[in-house]
A and B are shown apart, each in its own frame.
Chain A
Amino acid sequence: MNAMTTGAAAFLGRYEGLRAHLPGGRTDWVAALRADAAAQFRAQGLPGRQVEAWRYTDLSPIAALGFTEALTLAEERLSLPAARAPWRAVFVDGRFAAGLSSLPPGLSARSLAAELDAARGLLGALAEPTPMVALNTMLFEDGLFLEVPPGLDAGVMELLSIATHAERPIAFHPRHLIRLGAGARLTLIETSLGPAAATYLHNPVFEIAVAEGASLTHVRLQREGRAGFQLATVLAAVEAGATYDNFTLNAGGRLVRNEIHAALRGPKAACHMNGAQLVADGQHADTTTFLDHAAPDCASRQTYKTVLAGRSRGVFQGKILVRQAAQRTDGYQMNQALLLSEEAEIDAKPQLEIYADDVKCSHGATVGALDEAQLFYLRARGIPAATARSMLVEAFLTEAVEGVRDEAARAALDEAVAGWWEREAA
């Protein structure tokens, strides 16, 4: 048993001191949920490298810090990026900012903290017993609680998370519940931002339920400040004939992890998980996926592309589990890395675990540098070296980003990619 790290002890200390004041602190079922999570976190602490799922991502920079909550927010001092969609839910340091948000009518979108009772039986229903989920359950203050009624096409909505500057390290653990009724549709564009020099931890957990025949497109643009940490966990349950599409851009932060657990629970459910990781000098980006094929005739597709510059590190871990019931599963996973520097490192660990006998499942991985012949071809046509490199990086990302079809999401993604290149690599 390891001694508790500074970071883990600080989180437990916050819980002990704050638990009566946290949302639902005086509501039995919430208090019980938090107490269970605290007991689990006390036993596990922040995961160390000896834990298999965290072998390539070292949390010691987080474990060494004592995080506290943010003080009262100053909404009027924030400058928000231009809106990408008609409706937007804004969270500042993990707390819902009503004055900055505009929520759509016709569906139920509200602050989780304000409507906790309505979340009874839903909150925690999908939770995996991971330390980061336990930490989130123990300390969450708020989140987006979104329910799309059956049959409604809710269009496009934005979820914006902003960290504010603080003198000391702050942490926030938003808990988002996204639930689509049967046959409903929604595109959710989520952006995380933070100031360049602020040390903070953003530890969001999404519990996503996509009912029969519904379709959720979830675009996550992680652009945290360069001293920020984001450890995100997405938990998705996809029912018969439903589709969950996740695209995640990891472009910001000092150390980030995008962990997705998706379960295909009914026949003909589908899941597409794509992503791009743009990792510059001093950054660490981790994408870890777990795809659970639990029903027959389901299809899953994963394409992840990682571009690494300077002294940086990228991680991809992807596990596909095909249970015995999941006959005629069609699964595909590809992860590719482009190393722009000799000091960059990528670790990839694909894993297939198959218990059904009629299954089509494949995976592949490649690691390479920019192609010298391609680069010369572009330069021989008059294109300056930096532009030529950026064209080839963009081309490398194409296969992963072309799945993002919503125009607003695509524009936001293109802007994030171009911004990263200009800032970090050109």
Chain B
Amino acid sequence: MLKIEGLTAEVEGKPILKGIDLEVPAGEVHAIMGPNGSGKSTLSYVLSGREGYEITGGSVTFDGRDLLAMEPEERAAAGLFLAFQYPVELPGVGNANFLRTALNAIRRARGEAELDAMQFLKLARAKLKALHMSEDMIKRNVNVGFSGGEKKRNEVLQMALLEPKLAILDETDSGLDIDALKIVADGVNAMRGPGFSALVITHYQRLLDHIVPDRVHVLMGGRIVKSGPASLALELEAEGYAKVAA
């Protein structure tokens, strides 16, 4: 599904990613763990196409296509989803309108019929119910006045509606209490299956108790320094990054 080979990238002339090799097969959930400053967020932004990141080498293939040649909206239409570490507030933009515009843009790109307001509302209500979220969520402006937990839940709602092939969860656990963490994890677990892959980026092992990964990679200094099964996360938690990576 996702194949990263020798990826290097800079921010303002400073090398951050120094040769990443990583493959996430279809249907698998992989975790990337690493200390602060290891390049975790840079990797998620480079994969989703944010401006300000200079790609200096390597390649990324997504579902057989050259991901790095695509605009951010094309990547989303192709099935890539980034759950933001810090979801952005959009004053004046209603959440329902935002979600419907996004869903219809993606459906259009996939050659599917757009949903009218009523059809959308029906779908959104079903997703909200499945995620145990209040309908109030789609009546407000996007993320405006949302608590940290509500913002992350809104990310999961978007993921559930857009049904991506690959979700990148960028520190989705940061700032979440245990109840919110469970809602987020349930949302991701509900999507697991042969057509869904995920890259769970996190500093702590906590989230991985709830979203059990198929594989764990340790990112340090802009490189994957170690890969292993889910138990590697526990090792990291117990012994610290420096020791495990040594």
Chain A positions within 8 Å of B, measured between CB atoms, are 371-374, 376-385, 387-388, 391-392, 394-399
Q: Are A391 and B93 in contact (CB under 8 A)?
A: yes
Cβ-defined partner of A383 (8 Å) among B50, B82, B88, B105: B105
CA distance A382 to B87 in the complex (A): 15
Cβ-defined partner of B73 (8 Å) among A384, A396, A397: A384
Jot down 5 A-B pairs with beta carbons below 8 A, ordered by A: A376-B88, A378-B102, A380-B72, A382-B77, A399-B92
Q: Are B77 and A396 in contact (CB under 8 A)?
A: no
Residues facing A in B35-52 (CB within 8 A) are 48-51
Residues facing A in B60-83 (CB within 8 A) are 71-73, 75-77, 82
CA distance A380 to B71 in the complex (A): 9
What are the residues of chain A within 8 A of B162 when measuring CB–CB?
381-382
What are the residues of chain A within 8 A of B77 when measuring CB–CB?
382
CA distance A193 to B46 in the complex (A): 48
Query: Is B158 on the interface with A (CB-CB < 8 A)?
Result: yes
| Nearest B residue (CB) for A393 | B92
Q: Are A391 and B101 in contact (CB under 8 A)?
A: yes
What are the residues of chain B within 8 A of A395 when measuring CB–CB?
90-93
Residues of B contacting A: mostly: helix
Q: Are B90 and A377 in contact (CB under 8 A)?
A: yes
What are the residues of chain A within 8 A of B32 when measuring CB–CB?
none
Q: Are A383 and B71 in contact (CB under 8 A)?
A: no
| Nearest A residue (CB) for B161 | A381
Cβ-defined partner of A382 (8 Å) among B50, B84, B88, B109: B109
Instruction: Tell me which of A383, A387, A399 has the highest count of chain B C-beta atoms within 10 A of its own C-beta.
Output: A383
B 99-113 binary contact with A (CB < 8 Å = 1; else 0):
001110110010000
Q: Are A381 and B158 in contact (CB under 8 A)?
A: yes
Q: Are A380 and B92 in contact (CB under 8 A)?
A: no
Q: Are B88 and A373 in contact (CB under 8 A)?
A: yes
Known: A391-B93, A394-B92, A395-B90. Contact between A376 and B158, CB under 8 A?
Answer: no
Known: A382-B109, A391-B101. Contact between A377 and B92, CB under 8 A?
Answer: no
What are the residues of chain B within 8 A of A381 when measuring CB–CB?
76, 98, 102, 105-106, 158, 162
| Nearest A residue (CB) for B52 | A372
